[in-house]
Amino acid sequence: MLTITIDGKQISTPKGTTILEAAKKAGIEIPTLCHHKDIFPPEVQKSGGCRICMVKDVATDKMIPSCAEPVTDGMRIISSNKKIKQARRNILESILENHLIDCDHCLRQKKCELMTLAKEFGLDHITSTSVKRLVEKMDISSEGINRDPQKCILCGRCVRVCSETQTADILSFKYDGFPNQVTPPFSDEVSPQYERQLKDTACVECGQCVTVCPTGALTEKSHEERVWEALKDPNKHVVAQTAPAIRVSIGEEFGIAPGGVSTGQMVASLKNLGFNKVFDTNFTADLTILEEGHEFIDRVGKGENLPMFTSCSPGWIKFMEYNYPEYLDNLSTCKSPQQMFGALAKSYYAKKAGIDPKDIFSVSLMPCTAKKFEASRPEMSQSGIQDVDAVLTTREFARMVKKANIDFKGLEEQEFDNPLGVSTGAAAIFGTTGGVMEAALRTAVEVITGKELGGIEFQQVRGYEGIKEATLQVGELEVKVAVCHGLSNARKLLEMIKNGDAFYHFVEVMSCPGGCIGGGGQPLPATKEKRQARMDAIYEVDKNLPLRKSHENPAVQELYKEFLGEPLGKMSHDLLHTEYTERIQNSTLHKAIKEAGLSDQLVFPLKQGDGKFARPVVIEGEEVSVGQKIAEANGFYGRHIYSGVVGKVIKIKEQNDSRTKNAESIIIVPGKLQEAMLKEVSAAVDSVEKADGISTDSQEVKIEELSVNELREKIAGIGISHLPAISNTRVNTPLFEKGIEWEANHKDTLVINLAGTNNLVTKDHRLALENINQLLKGIKVLLKAFKLERCVIAACANDPTVINLLSEKVQNDEIIEVVTVADKYPQSKESMLIQKIFASGKSIEACMITDVETVVKIYNRITAGVPNIDTVITVDGLLVKDPRNYRVRLGVSLKSVLMEAGVDLNQIESQGVKIYLSKRDGQLREASLEEFITDSIQGVLILAEETKLSKLENYDDCVHCGRCVENCPMELYPNKLSIFAETKQLSESRGYNVEDCIGCSICAFVCPSNRPISSMIKQTKDELKVF
């Protein structure tokens, strides 16, 4: 135990506890904003981004964030004094001035954590109508969630819950030296037409980001208006269905304690709102069990498509469609209870009530934002009519009740309507994790054995544990089941199944923590204690019902007798079952690298990165083969040039175009044997990839047996250090001359720059994902070849997928580690990257720096003998029908690459767009169609003519108010530095210590003229090359 003193109070606390946690234990309140104790696992709770929770460390006399700082033994802390309070107030004021304060029209209203804090600090008088940060417009592209960047305070909660709790990774910070916006990953400002929206991502619409957002930046997409309109329409028969999780949570919106059961008031309030009929989704939950239970029995009997996964959670279904399409056949074909009800409301009920299905307006009350997406799916319709017309979350339903001035707590309880209002306890427990599994087992066991269950409560699948497993003896069959909640746990379980580490017959998955009780549409704020109270209430509802097994529901039995026939029968199949579709995003982030074809001729410029020319070693008319050297490197940074095709050298000439500037080139025309030879090279690479990196015994032994010099000889020609080859591998101090051996001082480091491309270029992302084993094994080869001690992989924070994958792969590796950096560092800024790694606490005396593609090429050269004959480039933008990363042979024409990506070349001029090449130095350069591919090209982008290649937008003149000077933590003069940037007085900036700017952005936050001061200073530093 450690001892800490806070405000004179001595506290004993375990190692690893934060100051904030220790303070709360002692009853000392410290205000927070970015921190959220219940969502993240303990090891990743720390944030410290907003600095509202700052406290003073007496020993250092410094202000530190209490939510991120761990307790040290003997630490003395002051949690509050006049200076601390003023600092918190200043920070909060800066946040408010960059937040669109529109409380009257905001869905969060009285539940906004930011405004609650503002009232505490006496800042609720601030009324802003616009933000000073440059943000994109509101994103309403999703079916279930709206995103308003103007209300975002950059706390990072949504980014972390999406990445860590749900592993969807569809939100990230956009950086401009500091985090200035939360967007879908790899969004960029260079083209206004090219901002990615939620619809462009693999968002599963679970709404967990909404539950943790402290403001109204993320909200459910409201269906309230469409419901109000239907209620006012005399020609509409409006029916409601209510999910089991609603009745144990809706009371929280009206002052009832969490876990209070408000079924009767809920029904009464719906009837007061004007709904013609109020039914219970629990009825179709029982129906789901009948269908799903028989489906499970049928699959087990046939031994097909096991394990069977539940299909009630729409976020989980979408997650599978995006991430694990190979398991879509394992999903139960049963529609969710919501959609089964919708189908029956417009068929069975419509027939019994004598109402035209087109006149029925079906509304569901759900704890889930993803249900909105589910209701909109084209599969969920009959004869062109959607089964469910509107979905109201718990919060939306509460707002409608309040708007109608209904006294919820004072209402006399009412019952559900028949015939779709009867249910059992098995249906009630659908609302919590493990409930669907337990309900299914209650029915399946009795159907299989023909015997009545003794005890019907399956405690093995209950509780809040992330993954639960159980083995049950059902007659002669031993049934293995699993239950999980939260998509990070679902991913773990799927990977266990995929790798053969686990086998189950039946698996229940709920997208949200705790199941539906913790859904994205539930009352806020979301806490674990509230979810637990709701869970307890649901089990209490089950216990108190007279019927607790779905197959005992008399109304469901009558439904089969009158209408459906039998479980899995034809009518049931048509109405109650569905199918799923693999979802492939039209995004370069998520599409596999594709091999591009060839052009009629290949052109190889001989001018090297150091300005010297490679020396041709072939002559005109000579036949060449794949991988044959056609030019010898000449100079320290040169590289050999190899033919990527079988063909004939038709010309060695001056190639006069906008890129090569009269550089001598070799032109090759591909031959007839091309396809066979390309397959041979591809097979060599595939054999290495399928072997899971250097993992076969023969390959491993071969590399281990190679000496340092032998490894360097094999690397020569595709690039590293002083051995001539690829020009993008560089060595930082100590620099060495050609011919001098690299001798390590045992502190030398290999740096892999995974943050070297701009936001529209995703090649590093795809290369790392698709070549993870080759990358890690290739790193070990380079470490041995150049006697380096360790490797740091620097990845940009807006790429959580790669960061998480790499971190998991190297978690037990003492040599390789992953460092997250906040900005992009192309070739021209890699010295800044080294500074960032220094700042992260890594001691680097000398380093060799390279990128993913180079390491993978070196790996393939050593293991498969593949020379440097191709490169991966991102092709994206307007007119691109198949945006993705393409593996392109060096020398092919730009025209052929664009045609491969589905670009109609005739439209480039007629549509008023331009082609840009993204280069290794991070710059975009306008290109012509007559150019050819070289390995300096990272991406080919087609953007609008009005594209801004500078990120600085229009802004007002400096009004010399001095606020930026007053608030600068480095005591600089940001006002003067911004003016110097405007007037290009770069030398003057040096006199005002521009190099000391840390990019904190406080100056931009406080500027009343909307001047992007921090960006302007950053641009000056870039031009001066001061870091």
pLDDT on residue 186: 60
pLDDT on residue 97: 73
CA gap 116, 374 in Å, rounded? 34
Confirm if 162 and 218 have CB atoms less than 8 A apart.
no
CA gap 120, 236 in Å, rounded? 47
Q: Which residues contact 198 (CB under 8 A, 6 or more apart)?
A: 139, 141, 142, 145, 147, 170, 184
Give the SS3 label for residue 15: coil
Confirm if 370 and 206 have CB atoms less than 8 A apart.
yes
Residue 884 pairs in a beta bridge with 875
Q: Could you confirm whether 1007 is annotated as catalytic? A: no
pLDDT on residue 121: 83
Q: Pick the range with the lowest mean pLDDT from 376-390, 512-526, 1012-1026.
A: 1012-1026
The one catalytic residue among 191, 222, 332, 989? 332
Average pLDDT over residues 974-980: 85
pLDDT on residue 229: 95
CA gap 334, 506 in Å, rounded? 14
Q: Could you confirm whether 622 is annotated as catalytic? A: no
Confirm if 732 and 848 have CB atoms less than 8 A apart.
yes
DSSP state of 383: T
Q: Residue type for 845, please?
A: E
pLDDT on residue 672: 61
Interval 806-831: pLDDT, tens: 988 898 888 898 888 766 777 656 66
Q: Could you confirm whether 332 is annotated as catalytic? A: yes
pLDDT on residue 730: 39
Q: Could you confirm whether 770 is annotated as catalytic? A: no
Average pLDDT over residues 58-66: 86
Q: Pick the range with the lowest mean pLDDT from 64-78, 244-258, 975-989.
A: 975-989
Q: In the predicted model, is pLDDT for residue 650 greater than 70? A: yes
pLDDT on residue 654: 64
**Residue 843: pLDDT band with limits 50, 70, 90:** low
| Highest-pLDDT range among 203-212, 683-692, 752-761 | 203-212
Tokens encoding 1025: 């090359």
**Residue 784: pLDDT band with limits 50, 70, 90:** confident
Q: Could you confirm whether 595 is annotated as catalytic? A: no
Q: In the predicted model, is pLDDT for residue 75 greater than 60? A: yes
pLDDT on residue 817: 87
Q: Helices 772-785 and 763-770, interaxial angle, to 10°?
A: 90
CA-based nearest residue to 613, from 668, 667, 665: 665
Tokens encoding 955: 């802004």
Q: In the predicted model, is pLDDT for residue 227 greater than 70? A: yes
| Three-state SS annotation for 289-301 | HHHHHHHHHHHHH
The one catalytic residue among 162, 203, 213, 516? 516
Confirm if 433 and 532 have CB atoms less than 8 A apart.
no
**Residue 44: pLDDT band with limits 50, 70, 90:** very low
pLDDT on residue 389: 95
One fold for both 224-576 and 681-864? yes
Q: Is 424 exposed, middle or buried (0-12, 13-18, 19+ CB in 10 A)?
A: buried
CA gap 110, 495 in Å, rounded? 42
Q: Could you confirm whether 396 is annotated as catalytic? A: no
Q: Pick the range with the lowest mean pLDDT from 508-512, 681-685, 774-778.
A: 681-685
**Between 232 and 91, where is the model more confident?**
232
Average pLDDT over residues 576-589: 84
Tokens encoding 895: 């025209």
Q: Could you confirm whether 271 is annotated as catalytic? A: no
Give the SS3 label for residue 729: coil
Average pLDDT, the chain: 81
The one catalytic residue among 277, 318, 346, 371? 371
CA gap 1017, 1004 in Å, rounded? 11
Q: In the predicted model, is pLDDT for residue 608 greater than 70? A: no
Task: Give long-range contacts, CB 8 A cutoff, 24+ apart: 252-257.
Answer: 252/523, 252/530, 253/394, 253/395, 253/398, 253/401, 253/402, 253/408, 253/523, 254/398, 254/401, 254/408, 254/409, 255/409, 256/409, 257/533
Class for the domain spanning 681-864? alpha beta
Alpha-carbon distance values, 985 to 962, 970, 980, 982, 1004 (Å): 20, 21, 5, 8, 20
According to CATH, the topology of domain 2-94 is Ubiquitin-like (UB roll) (3.10.20)
pLDDT on residue 862: 80
Q: Is the Cα dihedral 478, 484, 489, 495 positive or negative?
A: positive
Q: Helices 772-785 and 852-864, interaxial angle, to 10°?
A: 80
Taking the CA atoms of the chain, what radius of gyration do you get in angstroms?
32
| Three-state SS annotation for 139-183 | ECCCCCEEECHHHCCCCCHHHHHHHHHCCCCCCEEEECCCEEEEE
Average pLDDT over residues 181-187: 73
The one catalytic residue among 143, 292, 321, 931? 292
pLDDT on residue 987: 78
The one catalytic residue among 379, 495, 582, 654? 379
Q: Domain coordinates of the chain in residue numbers?
A: 2-94, 102-220, 224-576, 594-672+869-944, 681-864, 963-1024
Q: Residue type for 524, please?
A: L
Q: Could you confirm whether 808 is annotated as catalytic? A: no
Q: In the predicted model, is pLDDT for residue 281 greater than 90? A: yes
**Between 345 and 589, where is the model more confident?**
345
CA gap 944, 941 in Å, rounded? 10
Q: Residue type for 859, please?
A: Y
Q: What is the CATH number of domain 224-576?
A: 3.40.50.1780
pLDDT on residue 841: 52
Interval 349-380: pLDDT, tens: 999 999 999 999 999 999 999 999 999 999 99
CA-based nearest residue to 753, from 998, 933, 920, 591: 920
- 102-220 CATH pick, 3.40.50.2000, 3.40.50.1970, 2.40.40.20, 3.30.70.20: 3.30.70.20
Q: In the predicted model, is pLDDT for residue 17 greater than 80? A: yes
3-state helix, strand, coil in the chain (%, to 5): 35, 20, 45
pLDDT on residue 953: 42
DSSP state of 416: P
Q: In the predicted model, is pLDDT for residue 737 greater than 50? A: no
DSSP state of 334: B
Q: Which residues contact 21 (CB under 8 A, 6 or more apart)?
A: 13, 37
42 sits in which H/E element: none
Tokens encoding 196: 């990615």
Q: Phi first, then psi: what are they for 623, rounded to 5°?
A: -80, 135
CA-based nearest residue to 414, from 268, 238, 613: 268
Count of positions (residues) in the chain: 1027
Confirm if 363 and 236 have CB atoms less than 8 A apart.
no
Share of the chain above pLDDT 90, in %: 32
The one catalytic residue among 312, 368, 964, 1003? 312
**Residue 878: pLDDT band with limits 50, 70, 90:** confident
The one catalytic residue among 374, 396, 508, 853? 374
Q: Phi first, then psi: what are they for 448, rounded to 5°?
A: -70, -45
Preceding omega of 307 cis (within 30 degrees of 0): yes
